[in-house]
Structures are given as C-alpha cells and as structure tokens.
Amino acid sequence: MGGGTGMRRQLPPWAMGLAVAPLGFYYGFVSTALPILLAARGVAVGKIAWISAVGFSPTFWAFLLCPMLDVRFSKRTYAFFFAAVAAVCLGISTLLTGNLAAFTAVVTVGCAATVIFGNTHGGWMPDVIEDKHYSAVGGTSNIANLGAAGLFATLVVVLVRTLPGPVAAGLLGLTVMAPTVLLFFIPLPKKPTRSAREMFGSFFGDLYRVCRRRECILGLACFLSPTACFALTNLFSGLGADFHASESWVTALNGAGVAAVCSAGCLVGIWVCRRYARRTVYIVTGFGGAAAALGMIWTPHTMVYFAAGVLAYNFFTGINYTAFTALCYEIVGPENPLASTQMALLAASANLPISYMTAVDGHFHTTHGLAGMLGVDAVSSIVVGAVLLTIFHAVGVGRRAEVAIAAQ
C-alpha cells in the first residue's frame, strides 16, 4: 500500500475521492461562474465560449508537465503546491473581469495548476485502492468534482457580488485549499526512484510503450472523440437571455441545482459501473445528454424547460464522470511507474473534445442561434458514439469487460 503512513489514521476508499474537491472548485468557476460574471458585463456568448475554451485548454496540454509528478517529491507535496497555485490564480482572476486578456491568462495558468493537482491525485489512487473500489472512488471523486463545482460556482457569484473584491478573492482562495487537509490521511505509494532527467529523457519512449496497450488505445478512442464530452456544461450559465431567465435564477440552477443532480448521477454511476462495462457506460451516457440537448430545442424556451434540460444533461454528466474515472483507474492499474503521467494523458484526451466542442458550440450559437448550438452538440455525440459502440461490439470488448466485472 505504500510507505510513509506511520500511525496516521487512514481514510476509507470512498472518502479518498473527496480530496479532489479543489479540482471541482476550479472547474466550477470556469464552467459556470465565469460565464455568469462575463455575461453580466455584456460579453457575448461567442466571446465567453472562446475565453472558456482557452481557459480550459490546459486540460489537454498540461499532461506534458506531469512527468514531474513521478519523480523526487511525494504525491502529497505536489498536490499541496499545485492546489495553492490554483487557489491564488482563482482569487486574482475575480479581480480582472474588466481586462479580458489578463483574466484569460490568469484563468489558464490556474487551470494548468488544477490539472496537475488532479492528475497527482489520480496517479496516487491506483496504488492505494483495490480494483473493486475503483467505481466507489470514481463516484465520490466526481461528487467532489461536479457537485463541488456547482456549489462553488454559486459561492463565487454571491461573494463577488456582495463583498469587496480583495476580500472575496481571499475567501475563495482559502475555500479552494480547505479540502487538501484530507491529503494527510491518504497513504503514500513508494517514493519514485528515477531522477527528473531520467523521467523526462525517456518520457515519450515510456509513454509510447504504455499507451500501445490495447486497453489504453481503446480508452483513448473514446476520450478523444466528441461523444459524451458534455461541453454544454461550460455554456449553460451564459444562456439565461435565451430562456428569459434572471442572473440569480441561472446562478441557483447552475450552482446548487447542478451540484445536486451531478452528485446523484455520480452515485448512480457507481451502481451502473459495477454491472456493466465502464467503457460502454461512458459512451451511452452521451446519448442521454444528447436527448436532453435536443429536448431543449423542441420545448418552449422558458425557465422551467431550461431547468429541466440543464438538470437532465448534468445528471448524465455525473454518471459519465464516474465511468470515466473508474475506466482510467482500470487502464492505469497498480504499481505503474508512469501512473500520474498516464492519468494525465487520459484526462487530457477526454478534455480535448470538451475544449474544441465548447468553441464549436459557441460558434454555432453565433451563426445559427440556440438551436444550432444544441443540435451540433447532440448530433456529434450520437453519431460518433454509435460508431464507437459498433466497433467495440465487433471486437467483443464489452462482453469481455462484463465477464471481468461479474467475476469480481
């Protein structure tokens, strides 16, 4: 289970997932609070989508920095440091909404630190939990991610609106750091024995050898595609005007409302992933999100139908994220010397379509209105997901995975 724990009390596996909450806080800021704050300043949806895409971009390129997580210092040290960098950047960015260039730059740096923090936690988990706990940790880590994201987004808007800027920034930064206390109660894996020179020098060769495994290739095929990427979560909070909804109402919906349904989806995801192949669950949830998006096109554009669509979409998001995390743990496995690096690559591959589909969705909103944005997102998920399921069925992936799950 790794050294360095001494007599310290150890968290149960499900509670270890909650330590990733700083990741959820920052993502909630980018996906929900950021559009609300910028829309209040009159920034167009297309511009907000571009800023969100740039700010979210480290989720697919920051993995190049993650080999450092597998050398020299402990996972706990890296996690604390990068959580602190993210906390500082988030606080500062709330003071810069009047300067979009500086705002975008600081948000992007903070997101990079957050990605590295998340991959530190992700690379840590397979060494200290068993396969039978992957779904449980995946579920609770995504409650801490998606659920915390919604609640924190509400907190951001409320504090920024009611307190002096520096005070709000400081309180938000401290909130981001608070969950890192849990890291003291997670056992550490063995310390890395390779130097930074050795790790970075052999990075691409080692990564190639790891990623040429069949399971990793199939995982990357899922994650890099636009199916089940749920990019609309980055834009819903900026659509209040399209559905004649006030800022306070949109904030409550995309904050507490989304937190509740995402958390429920994460818990349902634990149950589902114990019974069906995690890869299949990942793709099928995309069909549920697409149905919610299409429903928002065909129903009246009122607050009630907006709420129904957003909540349904985010319920499937919760199930999807549990499946994604459990599948990543399955692919990486225990005693992997490149655990954090490989987790970073898998997360990057899943976040790339979120970033490009956020930009695509925003462009279609500008050129074809609300229906165009929702339609292109839904069609992309349905078409590509159907192709992937057909391929997996042809090679028998789902059947073998289900046999393995039944044997646990």
- Nearest 5°: phi and psi at 98? -85, -10
Q: What's the pLDDT at 295? A: 93
Q: What's the pLDDT at 203? A: 59
The counts of H helices and E strands in the chain are: 19, 0
- One-letter amino acid identity for 71? V
- CA gap 292, 112 in Å, rounded: 31
- CA gap 396, 279 in Å, rounded: 12
Q: What's the pLDDT at 170? A: 95
**Assigned token pair, 404:** 């393995």
Half-sphere exposure at residue 388, Cβ-oriented, CA atoms within 13 angstroms: 26
Query: What residues contact residue 207 under an 8 Å CB cut-off, 6+ apart?
Result: 338, 341, 342, 345
**What burial letters (b/e) apply to 354-391, b meaning 16+ CB within 10 Å?**
bbbbbbbbbbbbeeeebebbbbbbbebbbebbeebbee
DSSP string, 275-290: TS-HHHHHHHHHHHHH
- CA gap 138, 403 in Å, rounded: 21
Dihedral angle sign, alpha carbons of residues 15, 16, 19, 20:
negative
- Domain ranges for the chain, please list them: 13-186+199-407
Q: What's the pLDDT at 351? A: 78
Query: What residues contact residue 178 under an 8 Å CB cut-off, 6+ apart?
Result: none
pLDDT in tens, the chain (408 residues): 444 444 456 778 778 888 888 988 998 898 888 888 888 888 887 788 888 888 888 877 887 777 777 666 778 888 899 999 999 999 999 999 888 999 999 999 999 999 889 888 877 887 777 777 777 887 888 788 777 777 888 899 889 989 998 999 999 999 999 999 998 888 876 665 555 555 555 656 666 766 677 777 888 888 888 888 888 887 787 787 888 888 788 878 877 788 889 889 988 998 998 888 888 899 999 999 999 999 999 988 888 898 999 999 999 998 998 898 888 888 877 766 677 677 777 877 887 888 788 888 888 988 888 899 999 999 999 999 999 988 887 776 544 444 444 444
Q: Is 85 exposed, middle or buried (0-12, 13-18, 19+ CB in 10 A)?
A: middle
* Contact between 29 and 116 (Cβ < 8 Å): no
Q: What's the pLDDT at 3? A: 43
- CA gap 358, 360 in Å, rounded: 5
Q: What's the pLDDT at 408? A: 46
* Contact between 207 and 345 (Cβ < 8 Å): yes
Give the H/E segment covering residue 352. Answer: helix 339-395
**Assigned token pair, 340:** 């954090």
| Greatest Cα pair distance in the chain | 61
| Residues 13-186+199-407, CATH architecture | Up-down Bundle (1.20)
Q: What's the pLDDT at 192? A: 58
CA 201, distance to chain mean position in Å, is: 29
DSSP string, 104-123: HHHHHHHHHHHHHHHHHHHH
Q: What's the pLDDT at 297? A: 92
- One-letter amino acid identity for 63? F
- CA gap 135, 401 in Å, rounded: 14
